[in-house]
Amino acid sequence: MTKLSSKIKITPDTWAGIQMQLGDELLTHAILNKKMNKWHDRNDIIYHYTSLHSFISIIESQSLYCTNLNFLNDKKEYKFGIEQIKSVLEKFKQEGFSQNIVEKFEKHIDKIVNSERFVTCFSKSGDMLSQWRAYANQGKGISIGFDSSKLSRSLYQSVKATHVEYDEKYQLQVIEELIRVSIAFFEERKDLIEWEDYGYEWMITTAVIGFLGEIISSYKSASFKEEKEYRFEYSVPNNEFYGEEEPIHFRTSETAIIPFIILETEHKRYERTWIDKDYPKPQTVIDKLPIKEIIVGPSLDFELIKLGINQLLKKYNYEGVEIKCSNIPYRL
């Protein structure tokens, strides 16, 4: 007589449940463990440095560009986080820790780089020389100060808001703890699940790489600390359950073809999709991108630019937006 197995078979539903349990375990550990728990000061205003041309486009379209993570100005973006993971794996190898799993990680780590993640970048400071030079046309642009508590809620798409982490020691601690906790989680359940059709080490690697991808997308080298970056991240769904993906658009720089998506306000999406169908507007929709202040770049004629900005904001029914002059003595 064939003995019936009482082990849990892996199906899409059971695997999703296991991953949710792992996520809960990691969240609990992050809250309780000081190595993973770090407090960031809240910023009421976050700033987006941009050119005058792009500023007009943002106001008129009520949208923001969200750029593929692999095409940002920092050439090592995302790859830096991969190198941090590799450092932790090397430490595990020296310790003789779960060698089969470590080897699987090393073999498949590039899956993180190939994931479809898009980001919109902000700074917690609205008047920095390095940012004027890099992102606002050499000081001939502006920085838009958004209400941080309302901005993500004003968007149609669901985005993850996150502080960029520059503390490299802390990054390594979090990566190490995440991998250790994840492996311990699966070890406790190893004999309860039927792994035969998939492979135990392979499934652990797949699950943990997914969680690692979520955290290292906000890791940067300490050399970029001055940026004080805050970002919105949009991940392209890889599951039909989440519905239709956002269309990917392309623009060019002098040296690249850059993929991006458009983050629209809920109001703009409502206007474009439902207004002609007499569909009632949801009460929770925020009408416009929540702009609190605008800082004019140091290489511009402040009074002239302020006059133009005021007229543009008036046309699009903005009120109470403070327009400031940069305090940086920088001219071109």
Q: What is the pLDDT of residues 116-138, one digit of tens each?
A: 889 999 999 999 999 999 999 99
> What pTM, to 2 d.p., does this model score?
0.86
Q: Can you give the C-alpha Rg of the chain in angstroms?
A: 23
Residue 67 lies in a domain: yes
Residue 332 lies in a domain: no
Residue scoring higher pLDDT (285 or 258)? 258
- Residue of 161, 154, 292 whose CA lies nearest to 229: 161
Average pLDDT over residues 83-101: 88
pLDDT value of position 242: 41
Residue 132 lies in a domain: yes
How confident is residue 239, by pLDDT bands cut at 50, 70 and 90? Answer: very low
Average pLDDT over residues 64-69: 93
Residue 8 lies in a domain: no
Structural domain boundaries enclosing 77: 13-325
pLDDT over threshold 90, residue 85: yes
Under 8 Å between Cβ of 211 and 180: no
Tokens linked to 73: 């100005």
pLDDT value of position 2: 46
Mean pLDDT of all residues belonging to the chain: 87
Residue 75 lies in a domain: yes
Average pLDDT over residues 98-115: 79
What is the number of domains present in the chain? 1
Q: Which value, to the nearest 10 degrees, does the dihedral of the CA atoms of residues 110, 111, 113, 119 take?
A: -160
Average pLDDT over residues 191-201: 82
Residue range 197-222, pLDDT digits in tens: 778 888 888 888 888 988 998 999 99
pLDDT value of position 165: 95
Residue scoring higher pLDDT (194 or 64)? 64
Give how far Cα 267 sits from Cα of 66, 153, 248, 285, 299, Å: 18, 11, 21, 6, 34
How confident is residue 237, by pLDDT bands cut at 50, 70 and 90? Answer: low
Average pLDDT over residues 21-38: 83
Establish how many alpha carbons lie within 13 A of residue 21's alpha carbon, considering only the half-sphere containing its beta carbon. Answer: 11
Under 8 Å between Cβ of 293 and 325: no
pLDDT value of position 31: 83
Q: In whole angstroms, what separates CA 59 from the centre of its chain?
A: 22
Residue 35 lies in a domain: yes
Q: In DSSP terms, which residues pair with 192 in a beta bridge? A: none
Q: What is the percentage of the chain residues whose pLDDT exceeds 90? A: 53
Residue 266 lies in a domain: yes
Residue 249 lies in a domain: yes
Q: What is the percentage of the chain residues whose pLDDT exceeds 70? A: 89
pLDDT value of position 219: 94
